[in-house]
Amino acid sequence: MNIQQSFKMLPTEEAAKLRGRGPVSARPYFDPEWWELERKAIFMRSWINIGHVCEVPEPGSFIRREVEFANASLLIVRGKDGEVRTFHNVCTHRGTQLTDERCGKQAKFSCRYHMWTFGTDGSLLSAPDFERFYVAKEDVGLKQVATEVVGGMIFINFDPEPEQSAREFFGPIADEMDQLPAASAIDFTEWTYEIPANWKTNFDNFQENYHLRFIHPRTGQQTIGEENPFGYPTHYGFVGPHRSQTLWSNPNPPPIPPTLLFGYQRGAELAHKDGMNFPKTDFKLFPCLHIVGLPPAQQFSHTHFPLGPDRTRGVIRMYWTKEADSASRLFTREFAAMSIRDVLSEDRYAVESGQRGLNSGAIDKIHLQDHEMLLRHLYETVQEKVADYLAEQEAG
């Protein structure tokens, strides 16, 4: 199985001609007014990865998520019928938040202020002296947010009536996501970070390999070689607003340092036992989800949550399909996760420095070369979504 089967993969020159050339405006990377347009046009009506089904394994299981771009606190709950639903963590009486817990399991949610009590399906079960409100219980259930599960990952959409289901939005990619490790995962390793950078500035860092030889001279040796000194991908592909690239492998990589050899060897062995071998994968789901697969077991997701025009929260997860039933498994999982974390940490200074330069207004154009075409595709897609939104607003 190869997720890139969903994309029409093109060699660099052909893909670059398709995408076009020339500079793009720097404004969308720092301007607060443009950020507000993106928030409304994109993030308030796109499918956003918010969690995983293994976090809500049983009826009554729930997780709470704070979503800053929507000014929302959410409850993601598995109901008695097994369905995963998302509700605003807001009592429909006078707005009191129902819980401060990050996760848990319970059959109902009661507001501590006046004890309005709701079921896991969001319905109002009871409220003291409710007869004096002169409203039907059916009309004051918890406010719901559109929710779908694709490949084991939970996606939400704040649009009351999304134009497309999540599966329709992801198209052929959705079926292949169902075959990835995350689809059958029972656990994950997660780390998060916040960075003073626009979400596109941060995301763009993970959409090009032009920087590898300069930022990752030590950790990028598996993807840089004499035949390809910049480690450029070999092919690029696009499906609607989504994009992918075929990563190049160094046929003659330098030997793994002895201090790291055991971790890599043991990881490969356990990955084979877990059935987690897969080809190199690198694709991006609009607007802000990046999924990477580096054989044998380092497949991870990276979601870029915008916090403002110049701040982003990254959430990175490596999913596991087996119980961590031995010290070896625990070691190799931590080894794999920290190996990826160390590589990504090397990017931080460059991303922060780039955002400071953009914020200064010193440049009004950004010049993109052929191997930065994924950046161009994201830029153009954002432009289209904002233009559509503005046209809708003007039409009333």
SS3 assignment, position 334: helix
Same-domain status, 27 and 69: no
Are residue 17 and residue 80 in the same domain, yes or no?
Answer: no
Quick check: 183 and 152 in contact, CB under 8 A? yes
Question: Residue 64 maps to which CATH number?
Answer: 2.102.10.10
pLDDT tens, N- to C-terminus, the chain (396 residues): 455 667 888 888 888 888 888 999 999 999 999 999 999 999 999 999 999 999 999 999 999 999 999 999 999 999 999 999 999 999 999 999 999 999 999 999 999 999 999 999 999 999 999 999 999 999 999 999 999 999 999 999 999 999 999 999 999 999 888 988 889 899 999 999 999 999 999 999 999 999 998 998 877 666 788 889 898 999 999 999 999 998 888 877 777 666 565 666 666 665 556 655 555 678 899 999 999 876 555 678 999 999 999 999 999 999 988 888 888 888 888 888 888 888 889 999 999 999 999 999 999 999 999 999 999 999 999 999 999 999 999 997
Same domain for 243 and 185: yes
- State how far the Cα of 96 lies from the Cα of 63, in Å rounded to an integer: 18
What's the one-letter identity of residue 200? K
Q: How many CA atoms lie within 13 Å of 217's alpha carbon, on the beta-carbon side?
A: 1
Helix (H) or strand (E) holding 39: none
- State the DSSP string of 68-131: GGGTEEEEEEE-TTS-EEEEES--TTT---S---SEEE-SEEE-TTT--EEETTS-EEE-TTGG
Q: Say if CB 26 and CB 363 are below 8 A apart.
A: yes
Give me the sign of the Cα torsion angle 172, 175, 181, 183: positive
Give 234's DSSP letter: S
For residue 238, which of 20, 27, 1, 24 has the smallest C-alpha distance?
20
Are residue 24 and residue 7 in the same domain, yes or no? yes
**Is residue 235 domain-shared with residue 110, that is, in the same domain?**
no
Q: Which of 126, 146, 161 is the last residue of a domain?
A: 161
User: Which CATH number does the domain housing residue 261 bear?
Assistant: 3.90.380.10
Other beta carbons less than 10 A from residue 330's beta carbon: 11
The domain boundary, picked from 109, 132, 161, lies at: 161
Of 161, 194, 221, which residue constitutes the final position of a domain? 161
Same domain, 220 and 348: yes
Transcribe 175-217 into DSSP letters.
HHHTTSGGGG-SEEEEEEEEESS-HHHHHHHTS--TTHHHH-T
Contact between 148 and 166 (Cβ < 8 Å): yes
Residue 29's DSSP bridge partners are none
How many CB atoms sit inside 10 A of residue 162's CB?
A: 17
Q: Are residues 285 and 139 in the same domain?
A: no
Would strands 144-150 and 124-126 be described as parallel, antiparallel, or unpaired? unpaired
Q: Clarify whether residues 108 and 202 are in a common domain.
A: no
- Spatial strand order of the sheet with 281-285 comes to 8-11, 235-239, 242-246, 281-285, 289-294, 298-308, 311-320, 187-195
Sequence letter at residue 346: E
Q: Are residues 25 and 56 in the same domain?
A: no
The Cα–Cα gap between 137 and 158 comes to: 23
Count of domains for the chain: 2
Q: Which residues constitute the domain of residue 129? A: 48-161
- Same-domain status, 205 and 240: yes
Count of CB atoms within 10 A of residue 273's CB?
9
Q: Are residues 377 and 279 in the same domain?
A: yes
Both 156 and 117 in one domain: the answer is yes
> In sequence order, what are the beta bridge partners of 365?
25
